[in-house]
Each structure stands twice: as C-alpha cells, then as structure tokens.
Amino acid sequence: MSRIQACFAELKAANKTALIPFVTAGDPHPQHTVDIMHTLANAGADIIELGIPFSDPMADGPTIQLADERALEHGVTIHDAIAMVKSFRETNTQTPVVLMGYLNPIEVVGYEAFAQEAKEAGVDGVLTVDMPPEAAGDLNAALESAGMDPIFLIAPTTTEARIKTIVSAAKGYLYYVSLKGITGAGHLDTDDVSAKLETIRKTTDLPIAVGFGIKDPETAGLVAKLAEGVVVGSALVNIVAENQDQPAQIIEKLTEMVGSLRQGIDN
C-alpha cells in the first residue's frame, strides 16, 4: 500500500477528510520551503502538494504564477524541489508529498530519471497539469514502476467518457477542479461539485480531493462533507507572498490558517 493509499485508508477509518495544502517549492526563498512543509504537516495537513515552479504556468492564476516567478528568481529547479522533499523526509516519513507541475521541466530530466530521483527522495505522487491521460502512458509507467502514484485532474467540463479514461490512468487520488477557471479564482458551487462527484463515483472507488476556489475554513468545511480531500493553494500562497520578507510571520500565519482549515474540515 502506498503512503497516499495508507493515508486515505486511515482517514476513512477515522471518518475524516484529508486536508491537502499546496505551496510552491522555493517560494519565497529555497531555504524556507522545508520549514514551511513541516509547518503545514504539524498544523494538520494530511498530504502536501509541492509545486515545481515553471516559467509559463498556464493553468494557474496570478497568485501561483507570482510564486513561481519568486522561486525562479532564486534559480529553483525541479532537482531543487526534489531535494527539498528529501530534506523534509529526514524528520517526516509519514506525510505523503505530491509534486505538482508542468510537463516541460520533467521532460528535460527524462521520465525515468525523474521518477527515480523523486522516488529516492520520498515523493509519493506526481500531478502533471498539462499531461492528459491519453498521452501519459510512458510517464505513468515510469512513475508506477518507481512506486509513485500518478494523480490526474477532472474538471467540471470532463465528459463521462473521459472520466473513464482518467480513472483508468490515475492512482492514489483524483483531483477534482471545482470550477471552470484558474487556480485562486472565484467561488465554487457546492451543489455543482456534489453532482459531479456523484458522477465520478459511478466509475471509481479512488478517493477524490477537491480544489480551486477554496479560500476559507467555511468553504473547506462544506467541501469536506462531499469529498475525501480538500486542497487549498492560493490562500496559503497569498500568506507567503504577503510576508515574504518576514519568514517568522509566514510560519506563524500558515500555522494559524492551516489550523483553522483543519477545524473547518473536522467540524
């Protein structure tokens, strides 16, 4: 059983929903990322999604785009992001870590070399935003043979036929994009989310995490009633951005925010 599967199994037994925060590797500075990851885990995160910065993050809104730009100013590479996970694993062997990013930096390394390097560092899953399941055969094979889970997105626009294709390629969990838009956008409609999740559940038993547009404990609480996981990204990255010159403040405010998201989800 993978670390991600074990995590969801344990939560299910306890009748709890996973809190999955997202931060960008190297934002605001590479030396803070590992501390930030520990902070998230200690404040109640079940799984951590770590963004690999990319120069052209087409599916992301301004918040995460700027986070990528801050990280890239410090020359953060995909190897650096993996090294941060390795360093995190020195004292945390329990919290699953999923790398999330775009295809091009992975292609430069090569699928197998990337999978090997990530696995050795203790990465548990990989979500490649611009890699559709139809074209993902080789990447998935590399990830799975290294023992990692390929995570895929499902969108409000995804047809039932495509849902079948996606769930047959996915492992670990599915990431449902709660709204038509980019990360950090608008507000989600829980009725719409509920209806779509029902459709997805007809074809799979994989846990479903919902993300995009979840900014506060109230929304996180509403979504937690529908899904196995709640992903919060831009709201946390905003905290990093607003306190980028005061690392101590980042830690303090992230602790506070993740704690209240945890409460929102558990209540």
Q: Closer CB to another protein, residue 88 or residue 152?
A: 152
Task: Write the DSSP string, the chain.
Answer: --HHHHHHHHHHHTT--EEEEEEETTSS-GGGHHHHHHHHHHTT-SSEEEEPP-S--TTS-HHHHHHHHHHHHTT--HHHHHHHHHHHHTT-SSS-EEEEE-HHHHHHH-HHHHHHHHHHHT--EEEETT--GGG-HHHHHHHHHTT-EEEEEE-TT--HHHHHHHHHH--S-EEEE-SSS-TT-S---HHHHHHHHHHHHTT--S-EEEESS--SHHHHHHHHTT-SEEEE-HHHHHHHHHTTT-HHHHHHHHHHHHHHHHHHHH-
Least distance from C-beta 153 to another protein, angstroms? 4
Please list the active-site residues.
Answer: 49, 60
Dist CA 124 CA 164 (whole Å)? 23
What's the closest the beta carbon of residue 135 comes to another protein, in angstroms?
A: 6
Nearer to another protein, 129 or 193 (CB): 129
Q: Which residue's structure tokens are 């990528």?
A: 68
The contact set with another protein (CB under 8 A) reads: 54-59, 61-62, 65, 69, 72, 77-79, 102-109, 129-132, 134-135, 152-159, 162, 166, 177, 180-182, 185
Toward another protein, which CB reaches closer, 94 or 168?
168
Question: From the CB of 243, what's the least distance to another protein, in Å?
Answer: 22
The residue (of 102 and 173) whose beta carbon lies closer to another protein is 102
Report the nearest approach of another protein to the CB of residue 166 (Å).
8
Cβ proximity to another protein: between 181 and 259 the closer is: 181
To another protein, the closest distance from the beta carbon of 43 in angstroms equals 29
Q: For residues 37 and 51, what is the distance between their CA atoms, to the nearest angstrom? A: 12
